[in-house]
Amino acid sequence: MTIEVEQKALVTATFSRRMTVQLQQDNSVDARIKGKRLKPVCGDRVIVRPIPNEADWLITEVLPRDNELSRPNSRGQAEVLAANLTFLCVLVADPPQPDWFIVDRYLCAAELMQIAAAVIFNKLDIVPDGEALRDEMRVFNSIGYATVFCSAKSGENIRQVERLLSGQISIVVGQSGVGKSSLINRLVDDADQKTAAVSTASGEGRHTTVNSVMLQLADGGAVIDSPGVRDYAPATVSPGEVLTGFREIAEFGRSCRFANCHHLREPGCAVKTAVDEHAISARRYESYRRLLALSNRLAEKRPAR
Ligand SMILES: Nc1nc2c(ncn2[C@@H]2O[C@H](COP(=O)(O)OP(=O)(O)OP(=O)(O)O)[C@@H](O)[C@H]2O)c(=O)[nH]1
Ligand SMILES: [Mg+2]
Ligand SMILES: [Zn+2]
């Protein structure tokens, strides 16, 4: 008799406490989780072992993470959505009307995870001229984020998206209905079924991805589809983290008179000057102030970590 021992695996789909994991031999199996305290997410490297006389495997351990992306659950508590990412892709479209604060918050999360990020404008086939949109996209580009205008429907510029994601472990995030699942279906053969499988169980009566699923890309790498339910933004971070999460503000902030400048009303603030001189986007600066205020409010409510 052969005794199958424990081995490393990769979590590739989660649905509440049920998971799909990819074993070292590359085959995917269903898995459950040992105990209540383990909380594996998509992208996690885990230890699994077979359960005698069952098709399911058991996840017994979550290995240390390189990074994690968190956002609030329905009770407002931060919950990890995915782990071990190398790239973050924020998708916007029109409709739904872009909420740039959500985009900025995701970019802030990417900065804190120390991974690269891109802003992708989808539904290029229906957006009329969109000068205002293009101006916003130009702002992201000017501070070093890759930007692409594409259409998951027509296929326009999908090659550019493929090139961005190639070899990366990415997550696609953004408001509900921007076309995350549609874009991933374009990028991955047979993704339809897999994204649909996690989409139908939401009970919200519409096609919504409620859990995360990771799909392999043909050119190497993988991409995670995430639910945009109720337009979640990432979990709120500490005030100190907000200060480093807006890269152009952090950059100009090095020239402020005071090293601990919060770039609000302090004298000699290089950030305020840069906003006045249009070297920093006033809209991005407003997002910064808004997120800092949110973060401060939360810090007051919570004991320090
Ligand atoms: N015209 C047009 N419609 C698109 C495009 N991409 C997606 N859609 C449509 O937009 C709607 C939402 O697409 P989804 O892919 O489900 O959006 P999602 O971001 O995955 O939404 P959630 O899972 O709810 O977060 C669907 O009706 C799609 O057919 C596009 O490039 N052009
Ligand atoms: Mg979806
Ligand atoms: Zn300052």
Comparing 68-72, 83-87, 210-214, 228-232, the range with the smallest average pLDDT is: 228-232
Q: How far apart are CA 256 and CA 225, in angstroms?
A: 40
Q: Can you give the pTM of this predicted structure?
A: 0.92
Report d(CA 177, CA 198) in Å as an integer.
Answer: 15
- Each domain of the chain, given as residue ranges in start order, spans 7-62, 68-231, 239-301
Ranking 63-77, 86-100, 263-277 by mean pLDDT, the lowest is 63-77
CATH 3.30.70.20 describes domain 7-62: no
Same CATH fold, 239-301 and 7-62? no
Across 78-137, the runs of DSSP E, i.e. the strands, are 78-83, 87-92, 116-121
In order of 9, 49, 111, 266, the CA distances from 260 in angstroms are 44, 50, 19, 10
pLDDT at 2: 53
The predicted structure's pLDDT at residue 199: 45
Q: Are strands 169-173 and 222-225 parallel, antiparallel or unpaired?
A: parallel
Which amino acid residue places its CA nearest to atom 21 of ligand 1?
A: 177
- Of the listed ranges 105-119, 202-216, 268-282, the one predicted with least confidence: 202-216
Q: By three-state DSSP, how is residue 178 classified?
A: coil
182 CA distance to ligand 1 centroid (A)? 5
CA of 268 to the centre of ligand 3 (A): 7
To the nearest whole percent, how much of the chain has pLDDT over 70? 89
Q: Give the pLDDT confidence score for residue 17 in this predicted structure.
A: 83
Environment class of 107 (CB within 10 Å of its CB; exposed 0-12, middle 13-18, buried 19+): buried
Q: Which of ligand 1's atoms lies nearest the C-alpha of 154?
A: 31
Q: Are the CB atoms for 22 and 28 separated by under 8 Å?
A: yes
- CA gap 93, 100 in Å, rounded: 11
Question: What pLDDT does residue 203 have?
Answer: 39
Quickly name the fold that domain 239-301 has: Ribonucleotide Reductase Protein R1; domain 1 (1.10.40)
Which residue has its alpha carbon closest to ligand 1 atom 27? 177
Cα(18) to ligand 1 centroid in Å equals 26
Q: What is the pLDDT of residue 230?
A: 63
Residue range 68-231, CATH number: 3.40.50.300
Asked whether 134 and 150 are in contact (CB, 8 A), the reply is no
